[in-house]
Chains A and B, each alone.
Chain A
Amino acid sequence: MKKILVYGELNSKDNTIEKVTFELLNKARRLSSEAKELKQDEEYIVEVVFCASYLVDDEINKAFKAGANRVVLIKDSVFDTFYSTVYADAFLEYFDKNPSDIILFPATPKGRLIAPRVTVQLDTGLVADCIEAEFVLKNDKLLFAPTRPTFGSELMATILSKKAPYCATIRKGVFKTDFSNAKTGEFVEYTPISYHEDRIKLIKTILNKDKNDVDFTNAKVVLCGGYGLYSNKSDEYYKKLKKLAKITDSFFGVTRKVVDFNLAEQKYQIGQTGSTVQAKLYVAFGVSGAIQHIQGMKNSKTIVAINTDENADIFKYSDYKIVADAKKVIDDLLIYFDIKI
């Protein structure tokens, strides 16, 4: 039987499984049924591999529910500190003995460091930052075909690899999670023998005090301000929008141009080089709809855009189009809430 391996990522604070791992597990499971539909004798099992000093039962069970047939813990206290070389070497040691046909890595900061180190040593290809993955049937052979945005997302490219294992890093937030897998499977612990000592020392961590964590992962409603809210050389309307977000229990987001002009902090940025959101409702105020921005919000359920330019690209991606002055709309909404409160 063939195997899809998901490289599992844990929260470094408490070793809980990061959501992206569940997303990849669900995708891996769907890929496995897709393979069977396309070619009957083709069956893949789904394995998830973690590098950590421990993993509690609750988390292991969640991994099974999310789609894993096999959960592997490469166990060593060395993993309490993250070094790409140490992780990659230990992973490879395990992988050499337990190979698989496909490896999915999360395109997270850590995943992006480990994946190239692993694939270079396997002398195989790596498709970066994918937003889709499927199988294609070519000359009666099933080929793993991930798709990635390229050229500043102006173009999508589906990439095949000539050599196994077929490897890709996958962006977080692009696939859904699903905890309906009823079967549990096998849990395996593996102790690595050899790994590289690293030549890096973390000498100091300073909290970036003026900044708080903005985590869009569970954002239901996002109010996003674009450069169209800029007026009178002030950030007045970004502040107003933030206030509106607070009142309505929504998330405040911005485009990169707004960040570039120092009108809001980078942590609020949505898009290819910012956060990806999958909101139930996404409202764009004065956003033009550049593809790099669209990448980060297009999977939202309902998209509403307010723009003065009736031909703005953002409308192509919107469920509701409103040609209006977004600043006035914000003012009107605030008036409504001021009265109510």
Chain B
Amino acid sequence: MNIIVCIKQVPDVDDIKWTKENNLDRNNMLSKINPYDEYALNAAIKIKSRFKEAKVTVISMGPKQAQDVLNFALAKGANRAILLSDKAFAGSDTLATSKILAAAIKKYCPDFSLILTGQMAVDGDTQQVPLSLAQLLEIPEITNITEICNADKNVAIVSVKTDLKIDIYEINTPCLLALKTECEENYIPKIDDYIRAQNIPIEEYDINDIGINKEDVGVIGSPTMVYRAFRPEIHKDTKEIKEDITKKILDFLLKVDNK
């Protein structure tokens, strides 16, 4: 049973730095595995622990530095790591990214049962790549998963918990599952794990290896482009209330048309 986990290296959004021109100062920002992808990875490793023949393959598209998150995933227990890296991929939007991932999966890991992803990436938060990938591979998906109850070669049972209800779904493989919350214990790799992981070379593929058209990737292959980026401006004429605070708040509360 082959399980694929798609992971993304993201800047730490709690540590955003800006250049003078209001661009992201990526060079001076820390980067880490997208936290939602880590939920997916943990879930995959948990499934693997139940089946002797199960294998977890992690795939990341990104610059060479994305090796860091792949090594981290290997240390956590993944069996195989694939890095999709090429200058031509830079600037890929969600459609182009999904095409690259889909092409690579078809070529290097076509016999998968499950693809696990995070629900979103904290740096982009479009939530579009999992669905686009599922569409390109023509497989069904379940998103916003809060728990993978069971999964084997043929079928997965997952639950989606919201404030109102818990839906339990059965889905035939191959399929894509996007995780929204932490549902398995988060194992933090030890030095020994990293040493073991060193024995697994990261497979690296570029545009020619994957065999995808230049016209489909990167800036050229991305139908969307940023027209302008700005930091939200605020123009508020703020008045300060210094006295009779309780009374003034009461006035607000009682005077508002509250019907």
> Interface residues, chain A, CB within 8 Å of chain B?
83-85, 88, 109, 112-113, 115-117, 119-121, 123-129, 136, 143, 145, 149-163, 198-208, 211-214, 220-221, 248-250, 265-267, 272, 280-281, 283, 291, 302, 304, 306, 315-324, 329, 332-333, 336
Residues on the B chain within 8 Å of A333, using CB: 246, 249-250, 253
Q: B234 is contacted by which of A151, A202, A281, A317 (Cβ under 8 Å)?
A: A317
Residues on the A chain within 8 Å of B225, using CB: 159-162
In the complex, besides A121-B135, A249-B258, A280-B256, 10 extra interface pairs with C-beta distance below 8 angstroms are: A116-B135, A125-B95, A145-B227, A155-B22, A156-B232, A157-B226, A162-B223, A207-B164, A283-B253, A332-B245
Q: B226 is contacted by which of A149, A159, A204, A214 (Cβ under 8 Å)?
A: A159
CA of A253 to CA of B123, assembled, Å: 25
Distance in Å: Cβ of B215 to nearest Cβ of chain A: 11
A200 to B256, Cβ gap below 8 A? no
B231 to A155, Cβ gap below 8 A? yes
Chain B 216-259, CB within 8 Å of chain A: the 1/0 string?
00000011111111111010111111100110111011101111
B256 to A220, Cβ gap below 8 A? yes
Instruction: Take A154-B231, A206-B168 as given contacts and tell me if A120 and B127 are in contact as well, using a CB distance cutoff of 8 Å.
Output: no
Does B32 reach chain A (CB closer than 8 Å)? no
Distance in Å: Cβ of B60 to nearest Cβ of chain A: 19
A-B contacts, 5 of them at CB < 8 A, read A156-B230, A163-B223, A248-B258, A317-B236, A322-B240
Does B109 reach chain A (CB closer than 8 Å)? no
B253 to A281, Cβ gap below 8 A? yes
Distance in Å: Cβ of A255 to nearest Cβ of chain B: 15
Q: A321 is contacted by which of B126, B157, B162, B238 (Cβ under 8 Å)?
A: B238
Q: B239 is contacted by which of A156, A283, A291, A319 (Cβ under 8 Å)?
A: A319
A126 to B128, Cβ gap below 8 A? yes
CA of A304 to CA of B236, assembled, Å: 12
- Which of chain B's residues 120-177 have a Cβ closer than 8 Å to chain A? 122-128, 131-132, 134-136, 140-144, 157, 161-172, 175
A205 to B253, Cβ gap below 8 A? no
B122 to A152, Cβ gap below 8 A? yes
CA of A127 to CA of B124, assembled, Å: 11
Residues on the B chain within 8 Å of A159, using CB: 224-227
Q: B238 is contacted by which of A112, A204, A272, A320 (Cβ under 8 Å)?
A: A320
B239 to A320, Cβ gap below 8 A? yes
A155 to B230, Cβ gap below 8 A? yes
Does B13 reach chain A (CB closer than 8 Å)? yes
CA of A151 to CA of B164, assembled, Å: 29
A157 to B169, Cβ gap below 8 A? no
A202 to B249, Cβ gap below 8 A? no
Residues on the A chain within 8 Å of B13, using CB: 151-152, 154
CA of A203 to CA of B134, assembled, Å: 22
Residues on the B chain within 8 Å of A322, using CB: 240-241, 245, 249
Does B34 reach chain A (CB closer than 8 Å)? no
Residues on the B chain within 8 Å of A203, using CB: 157, 168-170
CA of A89 to CA of B127, assembled, Å: 20
B175 to A199, Cβ gap below 8 A? yes
CA of A208 to CA of B248, assembled, Å: 39
A113 to B163, Cβ gap below 8 A? no
Instruction: Take A112-B127, A128-B126, A158-B229 as given contacts and tell me if A332 and B246 are in contact as well, using a CB distance cutoff of 8 Å.
Output: yes
Residues on the A chain within 8 Å of B238, using CB: 315-316, 318-321
CA of A321 to CA of B242, assembled, Å: 9
A281 to B256, Cβ gap below 8 A? yes
Distance in Å: Cβ of A292 to nearest Cβ of chain B: 9
Which A-chain residue is minimally distant from B175 (CB atoms)? A199
Q: B229 is contacted by which of A156, A199, A207, A304 (Cβ under 8 Å)?
A: A156
CA of A318 to CA of B239, assembled, Å: 8
B166 to A221, Cβ gap below 8 A? no
Instruction: Take A109-B144, A150-B123, A199-B140 as given contacts and tell me if A302 and B252 are in contact as well, using a CB distance cutoff of 8 Å.
Output: yes
CA of A154 to CA of B122, assembled, Å: 12
Q: A161 is contacted by which of B98, B123, B223 (Cβ under 8 Å)?
A: B223
Does B24 reach chain A (CB closer than 8 Å)? yes
- Which of chain B's residues 183-226 have a Cβ closer than 8 Å to chain A? 222-226
Listed residue (A162, A200, A280, A323) with the most chain B CB atoms within 10 angstroms of its CB = A200
CA of A241 to CA of B41, assembled, Å: 39
B256 to A211, Cβ gap below 8 A? no
- Which of chain B's residues 52-72 have a Cβ closer than 8 Å to chain A? none
Residues on the A chain within 8 Å of B127, using CB: 112, 128-129
Does B85 reach chain A (CB closer than 8 Å)? no
B256 to A120, Cβ gap below 8 A? no
Distance in Å: Cβ of A224 to nearest Cβ of chain B: 13
CA of A315 to CA of B238, assembled, Å: 7
CA of A315 to CA of B239, assembled, Å: 9
Residues on the A chain within 8 Å of B38, using CB: none
B246 to A200, Cβ gap below 8 A? no
Distance in Å: Cβ of B104 to nearest Cβ of chain A: 16
Which A-chain residue is minimally distant from B166 (CB atoms)? A206
Distance in Å: Cβ of B118 to nearest Cβ of chain A: 13
A156 to B231, Cβ gap below 8 A? yes
CA of A208 to CA of B168, assembled, Å: 12
A329 to B131, Cβ gap below 8 A? no
Which B-chain residue is minimally distant from A208 (CB atoms)? B165
Does B93 reach chain A (CB closer than 8 Å)? yes
Instruction: Take A205-B168, A283-B252 as given contacts and tell me if A112 and B241 are in contact as well, using a CB distance cutoff of 8 Å.
Output: no
Distance in Å: Cβ of A312 to nearest Cβ of chain B: 12
Listed residue (B140, B161, B236, B249) with the most chain A CB atoms within 10 angstroms of its CB = B249
